[in-house]
Chains A and B, each alone.
Chain A
């Protein structure tokens, strides 16, 4: 019995599933991370993922190719980011309430538009989603080939987002400006840099990544759009950012760890399903997120200007 539980770990399919489950979490976590580094908590994440999932899928369903769908999702994400920034950065409205408002708004308007476009479909229609690409030579490797090198292009794109965000945050003047905007916006202002503009751009980029995380669900992990399909992944990503102490590389680690536990939970459920009801397995991701936040709480160093609106010439 115990051996069965261990055997899961030497199964290449388990590792491949871990990689797949990590993608939407990874994209969303990186997106949230960029927003928060700029000083803006973006709780619109859950809704932005939902509308990204809907727009990416619908674009392809309407006849466009997959890459156009990905682009459309990113653009819609960026627009909702702009809306969020309009409220929180320019108007200085409460980031908590704005975020919840954006989540409710983005998901409900997505559902409304989906129903308008596809009025009465009981079984959700499907698209031809991203197909697995076997990377030459590498995919022939035993074990590693199946675990790592037989994924879709979207999967590789999601993992390439890590070096992209690392480069953006650590190697570009914009990344530096984002970090200062989140730590000490007055210093940025003193350099003659537009704090509000930097924050807005960061929230837009971050929101585009969140929308891609949602689009991954409908365009690579599944091939249909369901109501409520994001299912709390956005909130889990917010917890992962804290767990990762706002570092992209630790976000990768967190997303993989989390996805691994999730993939394991599904397999353990099959092994222990008769003894333990499935609902308890489904609770695990949410409970683990809370545990991760509590564990990280002691060492947590929030960006100093997180949640604080900036107004020119106003001291805090």
Chain B
């Protein structure tokens, strides 16, 4: 068996690969459902009903997709430039910390100013959290994967300290949570009597804006060039360091928005379980979305279906909810195989 590089890759081929990866993942999920002693088809039926079968299920899926679009964008922006930001989880909490600090009464503005202000603040906080790791990599060649990963643990401990200490809401009866966001800072609901909030629309707008930036601006072009080959990009006159710093700020900023919209849209206050690993799932979302902003929207909805549906399925037929995490992880590996098949033709004899 050997590989032969494809001469030219049709534009549709990578999308076929991610679609195939999604299908392969569901096939693997069927095996696991069977291993748990349930019928796979019944499992998938429950999963679909749980995530799409009712008005409530659909809005829940949309609400879960919201942070995943943001974290998926955060990973996609960075990975496209081969900057491995695995610190999205920490940057998400940095955004949540920022909106909690500014949104609990220290500043009071009318809603049409308050909400944009909080979103910008969260974006800045997420970006600044990632910035030191960007600088360490560009100027001291310190691997960003490990530094961004380790920072996640530090930030979550910081959140834990603040919620148990100085920021603890005295009315929360022992449960560590921060004071509630003021009414003017809360995102309105998109559908009445549901948890689907304006953040979903903001996430989609953000994806479209990033798509335009990627495809229509010089920065979009340079960020791709930096990802393909840093030294070639430098020779071509692209300001590599400046581009990477901007990518880092943008990537961290998207992660910060995930934390912000969860805090001011979904929960209304910061808790330590704000994110059940949305930062890590964002990596799978970005891969399944083929690192394309519009692809990220669909991949995030796919992952949200899995998460919301797996909960319902677990209640109905007693398959551990960890199935959702297995599916997320399998997606990453399946897309990798798909991408290799896009770049190379496999010759069985040769």
Contact = CB atoms under 8 A, between A and B. Distances in A.
A108 B150 contact: no
A244 to B, nearest CB: 14
Interface string A103-117: 011011101100110
A27 to B, nearest CB: 18
A97 to B, nearest CB: 6
A112 B323 contact: yes
Interface string A277-316: 1011011001101100110011010000000000110000
A73 interface: no
Label chain A's interface by main secondary structure: helix
Interface string A247-291: 000000000000000000000000000000101101100110110
Interface stretch (A57-65, A88-96, A214-222): A88-96
A235 B143 contact: no
Among the interface residues A92, A96, A238, which one has the most CB atoms of the partner chain B within 10 A?
Answer: A96
Contacts of A49: none
Interface stretch (B11-19, B112-120, B151-159, B251-259): B151-159
A104 B328 contact: yes
A281 to B, nearest CB: 9
Interface in B63-120: 79, 84, 86
A116 B329 contact: no
B336 interface: yes
Contacts of A111: 320, 322, 325
B3 A311 contact: yes
A119 B160 CA distance: 30
Given A105-B329, A290-B147, A112 B340 contact: no
Interface stretch (B196-204, B211-219, B279-287): B279-287
Interface string B155-180: 00110110011000000000000000
Contacts of A279: 157-158, 160-161, 164
A297 B329 CA distance: 31
A115 B320 CA distance: 6
A153 B217 CA distance: 62
Contacts of B153: 231-232, 283, 286
Contacts of B3: 92, 311
Contact of B328 (A94, A108, A232): A108
Given A279-B158, A297-B142, A93 B325 contact: no
Contact of A101 (B2, B164, B332): B332
A159 interface: no
Contact of B150 (A92, A232, A242, A312): A232
A97 B287 contact: yes
A111 B35 CA distance: 14
Nearest to B334: A101
A41 to B, nearest CB: 8
Given A100-B280, A311-B3, 4 more contacts: A97-B283, A242-B143, A277-B165, A283-B154
20 contacts: A87-B333, A93-B340, A97-B283, A97-B287, A98-B333, A100-B283, A102-B333, A104-B284, A104-B325, A108-B322, A111-B320, A111-B322, A115-B320, A116-B35, A116-B320, A279-B158, A283-B154, A286-B154, A293-B147, A298-B140
